[in-house]
A and B are shown apart, each in its own frame.
Chain A
Amino acid sequence: MAKSYILEILAVVAILAFCGVFLFTSSTLKGAEFAGSDNVGSGMIAELSGKPVESFAPLIPQWEPPSGEVESCLFALQSAIGGICVGGVFGYWLGQKKSMSETKANQ
């Protein structure tokens, strides 16, 4: 029984450990802002090139979400699109499997 759910158990343990590590670092690590590593990388670029971060203007003008709320809304939209694809297909497969076993049973 336990053996057949080994991947599920591992996934739960890994996610819990991940949360635990986050709680630990966020309470002990001083100066941890949990900013995106993209931005930390940009800071490093500025440091290496000796130019301030503000001097890096976009080469191609781009639209920026006006606030963090709008940004998180669009990110949620992105994962919702993915979630619909995944859920839809798994449902389709499940239905396919069920109708196949029903036709077999009727024959």
Chain B
Amino acid sequence: MHIMEGFLPWQWCIVWWLIALPCLAFGVWRLKKIIDADREALPLLGVTGGFIFILSSLKLPSVTGSCSHPTGTGLSAICFGPWITSVICGIVLLFQALFLAHGGLSVLGANIVSMGIVGPLVGYAIYRLLKDTSVNIYLTVFLATALADMFTYVTTSLELALAYPAEVGGVASSFVLFLAIFAITQVPLAIVEGIVLALVFKYIVALKPDILIRMKIFSEKQINEARGEA
């Protein structure tokens, strides 16, 4: 999902940076608040953040004959909300921009918006929508993580389409062209990521159910039901 350094006009770089910065600032503030309130939240942050580090470094081949990587942001979005996830993504993307020439400092804002803000926001919205329904919690986690992954790439496509409208058809037709590159490649990756992260969530439920209940991520009843069946 990285837009490569130099491939976004500077005007757009500034626009995406201006959107990303307040979200990051709010995320840092939220992070401080959560850690002050509950030290036991820190290990959970380690697990969810760790998976962003791992999954975003795996470049996997896909059906379109090109490679792409999962984002791993959904789990963190469910547990900590989208804004703290933005901060972790910011760290990962900065690492990749500085040392791997994946993305760059000028396009970092745009990449944070797609991977760190829109993707997690979509995942979080789905989780909130399904949280209090009778939907199985692992299905909720699957849907939230898979769609957080998908929408990261949809956003990248939109960012590029806005900067490079096609001569015929404008933004809409170049959006379709970029979607064909990014989104189709991503479909199988998103499905696998969703299943794997749902499995990880099962182990969190098995080992440390009290933190999930205390942070009100799922209700006690839902967790107990999940433990009973898992």
- State the A residues within 8 Å of B (CB): 3-4, 7-8, 10-11, 14-15, 18, 21-22, 25-26, 29, 31-42, 44-45, 48-49, 56-60, 62-65, 71, 74-76, 78-79, 81-86, 88-90, 92-94, 96-97
Query: Known: A4-B229, A7-B230, A33-B65. Is A58-B188 also a contact (CB below 8 A)?
Result: no
Within B173-230, the residues touching A (CB, 8 Å) are 174, 177-178, 181-182, 185-186, 188, 191-192, 195-196, 198-199, 202-203, 207-208, 229-230
**Which of chain A's residues have a CB closer than 8 A to the CB of B55?**
82
Residue of B nearest to A32 (CB): B65
B4 engages A38 (CB within 8 Å): yes
Leading 5 A-B pairs by shortest Cβ distance: A82-B53, A32-B65, A85-B50, A82-B54, A86-B50
A97 engages B207 (CB within 8 Å): yes
B6 engages A57 (CB within 8 Å): yes
Once the chains are docked, how many angstroms separate the CA of A86 from the CA of B50?
Answer: 5
> Is chain A's interface secondary structure helix, strand, loop, or mixed overall?
helix
Q: Name the distance in Å between B110's Cβ and chain A's nearest Cβ.
A: 12
Within B76-121, the residues touching A (CB, 8 Å) are 92, 95-102, 104-106
Query: Known: A82-B52, A83-B50. Is A15-B192 also a contact (CB below 8 A)?
Result: yes
A63 engages B6 (CB within 8 Å): no
**Which of chain A's residues have a CB closer than 8 A to the CB of B56?**
78
B7 interface residue per 8 A CB criterion: yes
B31 interface residue per 8 A CB criterion: no
**Which of chain B's residues have a CB closer than 8 A to the CB of A94?**
207
Once the chains are docked, how many angstroms separate the CA of A41 from the CA of B6?
Answer: 13
**Which of chain A's residues have a CB closer than 8 A to the CB of B166?**
48
Once the chains are docked, how many angstroms separate the CA of A97 from the CA of B203?
Answer: 13
A85 engages B199 (CB within 8 Å): no
A44 engages B100 (CB within 8 Å): no
Residue of B nearest to A85 (CB): B50
Once the chains are docked, how many angstroms separate the CA of A76 from the CA of B57?
Answer: 7
Within B158-177, the residues touching A (CB, 8 Å) are 160, 164-167, 174, 177
